[in-house]
Amino acid sequence: MKNLYPDFSLPASVYEACKSKAMQRIRKIDMNCGLNYTRFPVFSSMEPYTRYEHSVAVAALIYHFTGDEIQSLAGLFHDISTPVFSHVVDFMKGDHMVQETTESPTVSFIQNDPVIMEILTRRSISLDQVSDYHQYPIADNDSPKLSCDRLEYTLGNMVNYGFVPSDTVTAFLQDLRIGKNEEGNEELQFQDPETALHFAELALRCGKIYSGEEDRFAMETLALLLKNAVMSGILSETDLYTTEEQVIQKLEQSDLKQDWQQFCGLYKITEGSPEDGLNINAKRRYIDPYIQDQGRVSEVYIAFRNKAEQFVSESYDKWLKGISI
């Protein structure tokens, strides 16, 4: 995907860490959780957007706003343990409503990479300082607040989905500052209310795709395929932490080849039944940014609050069926 932050710099240690084997692995893990292999129009037409690109961009955003090397490294490493097809493995392990299972091996990925550990030792940075970006509110915070992680994938997706041109990203970034929120904690904040509203509405539009029928059905279908592959010995748990191309090769050379091809052929969702469909819930993602000296977008704009509440309360209790080419 096109670089959305061409003028942003990174500390030398982050550039070095990008070359590590652990970070290079996630060049082969796409952000779109396997949907990029299907024929659903919104996903089949987009450019590749990898966990590596996202992670480097998160590190750059953190450094841009904080100037802090350690926080930038923590942001770089936040997806280092992402498995193949990203959050599909959360679906596979029954954690799709929280989506934190995939973060658990982060420490071991960092520890087992000699390049990263040499950098940390040389810079006198402890593992604890960079293995959990949740400790830095500008890097990550509780939804629906705005953090660099949430900011980056929202900007990346709104461009990749074709919602806005890349110069809109520049306008959003120019309006953001670090400030204290209603809880007295640091958070990225918009200065201009209309800019904040525009961003929030685009984020909500992205959120509807993340938990839409195509997304839910495809992720659950692929999760069931992976689970079957592991149970039948076609894949091991270790294979899930290699690359997507390696796993796809094993699937295509197995008895599950037809199942994989059917998944890749998905292009439409229709109403199903308990006999031929899937009933899948999903995590609702939206962002309610803070406007400096005014409060949350949902407090300033009642119409947005109503839209967000409707989105969160929408029932996904329906049976879905996928149609393949």
Domains and CATH numbers, the chain: 12-212+284-313 (1.10.3210.10)
Report pLDDT for 96: 62
Single pTM value for the model: 0.95
Please check whether residue 237 is in contact with residue 230, taking contact to mean a CB–CB distance below 8 angstroms.
yes
Report pLDDT for 101: 60
Rounded to whole angstroms, how far apart are CA atoms 185 and 136? 10
* Core vs surface per residue 61-81: b (16+ CB within 10 A) or e: bbbbbbebbbbbbbbbbbbbb
Report pLDDT for 51: 97
* Residue pLDDT tens, the chain, 325 long: 668 998 899 999 999 999 999 999 999 999 999 999 999 999 988 889 999 999 999 999 999 999 999 999 999 999 999 999 999 999 998 866 555 666 679 999 999 999 999 999 999 999 999 999 999 999 999 999 999 999 999 999 999 999 999 999 999 999 999 999 999 999 999 999 999 999 999 999 999 999 999 999 999 999 999 999 999 999 999 999 999 999 999 999 999 999 999 999 999 999 999 999 999 999 999 999 999 999 999 999 999 999 999 999 999 999 999 999 9
